[in-house]
Structure 1
């Protein structure tokens, strides 16, 4: 059976980009059981309240919910178990240095399959204040209005 090619998104954390300013992103593999992989392939997972944590030079993912596999037997997994993330030593050292800055945290941004392997994209993030969120919304609205004006001008419609 040939290995699947490309990238297949399973779940993304849309709220993270709203609540946090993403400083840097990293791609990490995950240590999963067979029923977890089957459940992910069915598109079932949730990143709500999930976070990554460094412990003794190892990275762990806490709070990610992968529901039990429907056709699983007594070998089924625990839905919210802590999962180990696979990163290079150099990347872990770099993240450790950046985490020592105040206000930074690691949050999962998305889970996907890349060339058949389950991967998680984690982001080094700093929490946004309320005014930052309002500023981003105002900027997005202004950009949207600019693109509409350009489209109207191209079509020859004037106000």
Structure 2
């Protein structure tokens, strides 16, 4: 669990957080405290973090590194994940409705049963991503790389799909 020091470091900005993170690789932040922070975490390194069931709604995580992170059942409604690195990230049952994932790298991510309705995945790398049972209703997949992606059982009604 995070303590007050973790929250203080987060409030000091991305550069301090990344430096601290390198020294304290096992992040287990307190969900209730994290839910109250609506700060700009652009370019933050949260790779390998356990953010299971976190409420990250409206957060700015553009260009953040979330590779191999656990975001199982995370709430990322309208979250800015533009150009974020989400390689091999667990996003099973995550709520990503209307999220900005333009240019994000989701290679090998698990989005089984995730809700991506209305999300913008323009130019995203979804190669070898598991989208089994995902809700992609009205999702923009324009120019997204879907090479090797599993779309079985996915809801694609109203989705915009064009080749890379």
Q: Which has the higher helix share?
A: 1
What TM-score, normalized to structure 1?
0.18
What TM-score, normalized to structure 2?
0.18
Q: Based on CA coordinates, which of the two structures has the bigger radius of gyration?
A: 1
Q: More relative contact order in 1 or in 2 (CA 8 Å, sep 6+)?
A: 1
Q: Which has the higher strand share?
A: 1
